[in-house]
Amino acid sequence: MLGRPQEFRPKRFLNSDIDVKGLLIPFGGGKRGCPGSTFAIMVNELALPRIVHKFNFAFKTLESLFLGNHLS
């Protein structure tokens, strides 16, 4: 189908009618699915709350936004 698959020729996909949007399954599925997928999903769910917890976020006041005080 692709002809010479071992060669790096990215232009061969320019006129392709294959649509891969929404088809990414990062951990596979079925019997041959990734055994660590549950662990990876749990780690990802913990990463964002930890980052938010460790950093101090500050927001500009409405007055400084509307008055154009960009030095604060």
Q: Considering the domain boundaries, does residue 16 fall inside one?
A: yes
Q: Considering the domain boundaries, does residue 5 fall inside one?
A: no
Low-confidence ranges of the chain (pLDDT < 70): 1-2, 19-24, 65, 67-72
Please report the pLDDT score of residue 46 as a whole number. 92
Please report the pLDDT score of residue 21 as a whole number. 62
Please report the pLDDT score of residue 70 as a whole number. 55
Please report the pLDDT score of residue 41 as a whole number. 86
How many domains does the chain divide into? 1
Which two structure tokens, joined as six digits, stand for 27? 């951990």
Q: Considering the domain boundaries, does residue 4 fall inside one?
A: no
Q: How far is CA 25 from CA 1, 13, 19, 50, 54, in A?
A: 22, 20, 14, 26, 31
Q: Considering the domain boundaries, does residue 39 fall inside one?
A: yes
Q: Considering the domain boundaries, does residue 3 fall inside one?
A: no
Q: Considering the domain boundaries, does residue 32 fall inside one?
A: yes
- Per the structure, the complete domain to which residue 39 belongs is given by 10-68
The whole-angstrom separation of Cα 68 and Cα 65 is 6
